[in-house]
Chains A and B, each alone.
Chain A
Amino acid sequence: MNRFAALLDRLAYESGRNAKLRLLTDYFRSTPDPERGFALAATAGSLVFANAKPGLIRALIAERTDPVLFGLSYDYVGDLSETVALMWPTPAGPGPGHNQPPPTLAEVVERLQNVGKSELPGLLARWLDGLDETGRWALLKLITGSLRIGVSARLAKSAVAALGPLQPDDIEEVWHGLEAPYEALFAWAEGHGPRPEADDPAPFRPPMLAHPIEDGDFDALDPSAMTAEWKWDGIRVQAVAGRRPDGRFVSRLYSRTGDDISQSFPDLADALQMDAAIDGELLILREGRVQSFNVLQQRLNRQSVSPKMLVDYPAHIRAYDLLHLDGEDLRPLPFRERRARLEAFVAGLAEPRIDVSPLIGFGSWDELAAARADPGSAGAGEDAGAVEGCMIKRADSPYVPGRPKGLWYKWKHDPFVIDAVLMYAQRGHGKRSSFYSDFTFGVWTGEEGPGDLVPVGKAYFGFTDAELQELDRFVRRNTVNRFGPVREVVHAPDQGLVLEVAFEGIARSARHKSGVAMRFPRVSRIRWDKPPGEADRLPTLERLIARHETGQARSA
């Protein structure tokens, strides 16, 4: 457990993906089974056990420390688990707890799965006695379910793949049929075992992704060999179901990265009475109308979903593709055929929560461009606001996991663009840790005349390395205030810096002071030439929201 804790500790501070990958692979290579398998489960988020409540941890520490000293310490550290980990009294001298061997991660996981409620405090205390500071921190984070180390399931699987010649997608294919401690998986990855049998009736299949289309691409593409459909602004999902040996259906909803998100969408899971795998977009539909991404967000990342949620935010799948049907793998078939099978299948399913994303009719690229500019008149109707562009697919393309070249393209809407004023800057992480690279920008209140600047978003990409150097220099030379790691830079009508900010969508938000929230904002240009007083205004953004809701053209 102490070694696993050291790994978590290092991962928590490391910001680079490649460095995280290397740390994980190094750990998996040098740690025996079954310990590494439970570590894989913990980092990939697939460990399930009853969590300990903070109250239990408070009670344990209260029995062991002076309340005034605990209070002062907690105030200082600011995190319960960490405070307890750091001030937990180490047993000294002979007696209970002394020379207690630290628990292994395997022991922790196995015991937690079947420990009785009354035994938990004693067990936890014994473990804490045996661990060091980092070990206690990791244990407390693990059992309170708040392991924030910035590692996705995909990254953990990639680290396993990197033990040998496998690709991350190879791991994905077998992943959901396996369980901790994954001994067969490690043996396969290291080349001394066969591919584990995936007997999961509802496995994840790594999705096929598209390349952004570029102007030159159109010349090389024959419109008659291609199909087009709307790109919906929801969440790409894979809905899979199959029969267990006892004949009952197992259904799962996977994110694009293979995370099982069924728990957040019980309404959909129940609707999947089928032996099939659908690739589609997860949306919220109210009275047949697709809601904005902001609305969908209300249902994401929830441990439990209330009945009210299910009624107020009804989930829906708009299907793009069919990967598997009644025991047959459809992925080698051309898109055209899969599409025909999909339409027939969804029609037969007759499930109101699942429909097929319509194709867009077009004879030339100009016609498709016109449809993309006005989805409402080209078939998307009232849902035009939820369209973020089109997908262009070769009619004969097989379904190839990953991002193969030359088969699928995405042609997103041009972004929204506004001119905003730089207000605050914060240093970045990793390679950017010496650069002010996270920028908070604002716009003026009021229709005209002197207003106040109100922050409307944050951008930390979009600029080149050379531009970053210039921005960093500007921040350092124009700082008017410092708040911890944040610098306030000069921002007045005649002094300061204007950033052209591009973003994909905009919606009302109660959480932001300005009342608006942007999607994927980034710095598209630095307007050294423009006085801040001439930057955009909040009412302009409010009008953009109104236009976005109806899917109309975009520039401010």
Chain B
Amino acid sequence: MRPSDLLVSTPAGLYCPPADVHIDPVRPVARALITHGHSDHARSGHGAVLATAETLAIMAVRYGEDFAGSTQAADLGKPIDLGGVTATFHPAGHVLGSAQIAVESGGLRIVASGDYKRARDPTCRPFEPVPCDVFITEATFGLPVFRHPDTRAEVDKLLASVRLFPERCHIVGAYALGKAQRLMSLLREAGWDGPIHIHGALEKLTAFYEASGVPLGPVVKTAGLPKAALAGAIVICPPGQIQDLWSRRFPDPVTAFASGWMRVRARARQRGVELPLVVSDHADWNDLIATIGETGAGEVWVTHGQEDALVHWCITHGIRARPLHLVGYGDEGEAEPGDEPAPTPATPETGT
């Protein structure tokens, strides 16, 4: 069997013809395997969905219980027979419940890794490399300029600023699923034991993390609080809100943004960010190439991001590689920040 007989890219996303399933399809399909809960990978309206229990729960939180015709929870590491093809889910270290999906048939194994990272994250299971023939990798930060720093130093930067400007409010933009909760957890590790204030759009997912056994300490919604009560506070909100009308209710805010993109100054300035925090849920350049090596794959397919550089690196290191040109990814999570990422809170913000 050739790799292209097992997995092929289609307008709907990666497709496995012998099992008739799509992986992370961007439009409704009959049978879908989902790597993780970010909205560009996990969409509603599929017939049957196979994903980890956490990912299914996240989809239910975001889209309602009836987000798919039927669902099946995949246990990590247990092969599931899809009719001549087996699919096995392995942890990807990206967000809670995130998984790589190994698809295997006739001795050929392809791993679709979805989005992943290798850096430590107290809120989800760490990535496990899976030996394979073809490794499908993202390349969100696929340029050698992206080497994510130690997250502790970034969080310390935030805390130092809070100490220096105790009368101001620090508003931190962070993606609603994963980054926000990781940041809360990192703040706790760094010794911040006061309340962490949140935008209403983060409420349900944060509660879900807590319920899944990720302790985040006292988390308080900002809605209804008087302006003066937020002096010296740390407020976490979706990235679209840091510069929007919503941010005007806070005392002399310092705008921060937790993202791998903050490594590049022009990006931070474009967003009006005053305190960039380089905290990413994606693999950086060093981790991308280390991971490719660890899988032992002889061939690499690159999905979304900076494909050119990673493909070039593979080829110059004797690994066959090509870009997949999948469309529709990178809309959530660490999407390349555009001008105005239309803020679409999962729950409408009520009150003032």
Contacts and interface: CB of A to CB of B under 8 A. Distances in A.
Interface in B259-276: 263-266, 268-270, 272-276
Contacts of B270: 484-485
Nearest to A429: B272
Given A69-B312, A485-B339, A76 B272 contact: no
B164 A22 contact: yes
A488 to B, nearest CB: 12
Given A65-B144, A86-B263, A434-B248, A13 B306 contact: no
> How big is chain A's contact interface, by range?
35 or more
A69 B309 contact: yes
A87 interface: yes
B165 interface: yes
A83 B143 CA distance: 11
B245 interface: yes
A484 B143 CA distance: 22
B145 interface: yes
Contacts of A133: 147, 149, 263
A149 to B, nearest CB: 12
Contacts of B149: 132-133
Contact of A431 (B252, B266, B276): B252
Contacts of B312: 66, 68-69, 72
B165 A12 contact: no
Contacts of A82: 264-265
Contacts of B145: 73, 76-77, 83, 86-87
B268 A13 contact: yes
B165 A19 contact: yes
Interface string A66-91: 10110011001111001100110010
Nearest to A484: B339
B252 A433 contact: no
A427 interface: yes
Nearest to B264: A77
B144 A73 contact: yes
A66 B316 contact: yes
Nearest to A427: B272
Given A13-B269, A13-B276, A82-B265, A73 B143 contact: yes
A482 interface: yes
A300 B235 CA distance: 45
A14 B144 contact: no
A15 interface: yes
B14 to A, nearest CB: 25
B265 A433 contact: no
Interface in A63-119: 65-66, 68-69, 72-73, 76-79, 82-83, 86-87, 90
A434 B272 CA distance: 9
B253 to A, nearest CB: 8
A69 B142 CA distance: 10
B247 A434 contact: yes
Which DSSP category, helix, strand, loop or mixed, fits chain B's interface? mixed
B275 A13 contact: yes
A482 B243 contact: no
B266 A79 contact: yes
Given A73-B145, A77-B264, A482-B340, A434 B276 contact: no
B331 interface: no
A434 B243 contact: yes
Interface string A1-29: 00000100010111100010011001000
A430 interface: yes
B323 to A, nearest CB: 13
A283 B247 CA distance: 46
A433 B165 contact: no
A496 to B, nearest CB: 21
Interface in B8-66: none
A223 to B, nearest CB: 46
B241 to A, nearest CB: 9
Contacts of B308: 72
Contacts of B255: 433
A86 B147 contact: yes
Contacts of B266: 77-79
Contacts of B165: 19, 22
B244 A76 contact: no
A73 B141 CA distance: 11
A295 to B, nearest CB: 33
Contacts of B243: 427, 433-434
Given A65-B144, A69-B144, A72-B306, A79 B244 contact: no
A483 B338 CA distance: 10
Given A22-B165, A434-B244, A15 B143 contact: no
Contacts of A78: 266
Interface string A473-503: 0000000001111000000000000000000
A70 to B, nearest CB: 8
* Max chain A Cβ within 10 angstroms of own Cβ: one of B145, B161, B272, B340: B145
Interface in A8-64: 10, 12-15, 19, 22-23, 26
Contact of A72 (B252, B309, B316): B309
B313 A69 contact: yes
Nearest to A71: B309
A483 B270 CA distance: 11
Given A15-B274, A433-B243, A434-B243, A76 B164 contact: no
Given A22-B164, A82-B264, A83-B145, A430 B274 contact: yes
B74 to A, nearest CB: 36
B280 to A, nearest CB: 14
A13 B339 contact: no
Contacts of B144: 65, 69, 73, 86-87
Interface string A119-141: 00000000000001100000000
Nearest to A469: B248
Contact of A434 (B245, B252, B306, B309): B245
A128 to B, nearest CB: 14
Contacts of B273: 13
A86 B247 CA distance: 31
Contacts of A68: 309, 312
Nearest to B248: A434
Contact of A73 (B245, B265, B309): B309
Most buried by B among A15, A23, A86: A86
Nearest to A14: B274
A132 B272 CA distance: 24
Contacts of A23: 164
Contact of A12 (B265, B306, B340): B265
Interface of A: 6, 10, 12-15, 19, 22-23, 26, 65-66, 68-69, 72-73, 76-79, 82-83, 86-87, 90, 132-133, 427, 429-431, 433-434, 482-485
26 contacts: A13-B268, A14-B274, A23-B164, A26-B164, A66-B313, A69-B143, A69-B144, A72-B143, A73-B144, A73-B145, A76-B264, A76-B306, A78-B266, A79-B265, A86-B147, A86-B264, A87-B144, A133-B149, A427-B243, A430-B274, A433-B255, A433-B272, A433-B274, A434-B248, A482-B339, A484-B339
Interface of B: 143-147, 149, 157, 161, 164-165, 243-245, 247-248, 252, 255, 263-266, 268-270, 272-276, 306, 308-309, 312-313, 316, 339-340
Among all A-B residue pairs, the 9 with the closest Cβ atoms: A86-B145, A433-B272, A87-B144, A73-B145, A72-B309, A87-B145, A13-B274, A434-B243, A73-B143
Given A72-B308, A82-B264, A427-B243, 6 more contacts: A13-B274, A23-B164, A78-B266, A86-B147, A482-B339, A484-B339
